[in-house]
Structure 1
């Protein structure tokens, strides 16, 4: 976890500097969150805070949860991670267990706060992992369905074309990170989830 310390330290400063702002929807997770540079404009009029950090795994998000998320006292949380864990060779079951550990921290520190898990995306760069991605999403979705106040945000399905392959226009040239069209799609899906805001 030492690898993330510099960026996490900068995020802690950001959290402290905006501590007077309350009732925010916190976007937390890996680079798909961190690189969402138009978040404020995309959800104009809604108080949001981006505390994503690059390259983060679901395990790392759990590790830094008390330092980054709890101090904000968010109105709700939008969470995206798991992608990098699978890319690092973790199994779907491990990602599920990391998610369970994170939700245990949620229930301990922020039991009344709505939590929205954004499905692990079907990127071209990780297409060789697609069955593992599907299984991880399935395990997490099944747990969420048993948890009041938790929501599954399905960005996976609309990111596929009619033949069931990733829509390239939604991704940057690396086939992993989202393009502006990809973020526009995420925005559209999230606005259909009133619990987020």
Structure 2
């Protein structure tokens, strides 16, 4: 975990700000880190981007206590897992890392809503398709069994075309990271998910 230390120190130094809106932490890997103006993309909430590049779910669980609790979020959006699988971890390990992260959230922030954004398939990781689909199905099952305030947002299948192939327009030339069109899709889907979660959230006092 040593290679994350500089980014983690930068995240630790982020000021704590309260806006009067529900505060939502976006926590996870470079899909969040590289998102241009993420914090302005969801005006219905106070979004805070605490992603760090290349992070795994294991790293998210490990560093959670250092970067998230001081902000006292009302909700957490999580995106990670593809880097774990890319590093050779199994889908079962990904689920265990997520359970570890959830346990830390519950211990330090209470029973707040947490949404897992499905692990995306990318052209650079087509060989991991089976593992990604299995990891997603396991997390989806975990969320279904526990129910709200746990949520699962499927962004896996919306990135395919009508023939069942990944849509190239959603990716940068590296075949791994999202393009502007990809982020537009994610913004639409996540915004709708946030609206759904807000409908079931207690208003701020």
TM-score by length of 1: 0.94
1:141-156 equivalent positions in 2, closer than 5 A: 141-147=140-146, 148-156=148-156
8 Å Cα contact 1:26-1:77 kept in structure 2: yes
Q: Which moves more between the two structures, 148-157 or 54-63?
A: 148-157
Cα distance in 2 for residues equivalent to 1:63 and 1:196: 26
Cα 1:44/1:5, change in 2 over 3 Å: same
Cα distance in 2 for residues equivalent to 1:156 and 1:120: 7
Determine the structure 2 residue equivalent to 1:99.
98
Shift in Å at residue 164 of structure 1? 1.6
Shift in Å at residue 156 of structure 1? 0.5
Aligned residues: 195
1:17-32 equivalent positions in 2, closer than 5 A: 17-21=15-19, 23-32=22-31
Unaligned 5+ segments in structure 1 are none
Cα 1:20/1:187, change in 2 over 3 Å: closer
Cα distance in 1 for residues equivalent to 2:197 and 2:2: 31
SS in 1 for 2:192: coil
1:33-72 equivalent positions in 2, closer than 5 A: 33-72=32-71
Shift in Å at residue 37 of structure 1? 1.5
SS in 2 for 1:192: helix
8 Å Cα contact 2:40-2:47 kept in structure 1: no
8 Å Cα contact 1:122-1:160 kept in structure 2: no
Shift in Å at residue 9 of structure 1? 0.1
8 Å Cα contact 1:77-1:196 kept in structure 2: no
Q: Which moves more between the two structures, 157-166 or 5-14?
A: 157-166
1:124 aligned onto 2:117? no
Cα distance in 2 for residues equivalent to 1:86 and 1:115: 22
Shift in Å at residue 20 of structure 1? 4.6
Which deviations, in whole Å up to 9, do the C-alpha atoms of 1:138-166 show, x marking residues without a partner? 01110011223010011111001122221
Cα distance in 2 for residues equivalent to 1:71 and 1:35: 23
Cα distance in 1 for residues equivalent to 2:143 and 2:2: 30
Pairwise CA RMSD of aligned residues? 1.4
Cα distance in 2 for residues equivalent to 1:188 and 1:34: 18
Shift in Å at residue 121 of structure 1? 0.4
Cα distance in 2 for residues equivalent to 1:4 and 1:21: 29
SS in 1 for 2:145: coil
1:175 aligned onto 2:175? yes
TM-score by length of 2: 0.90
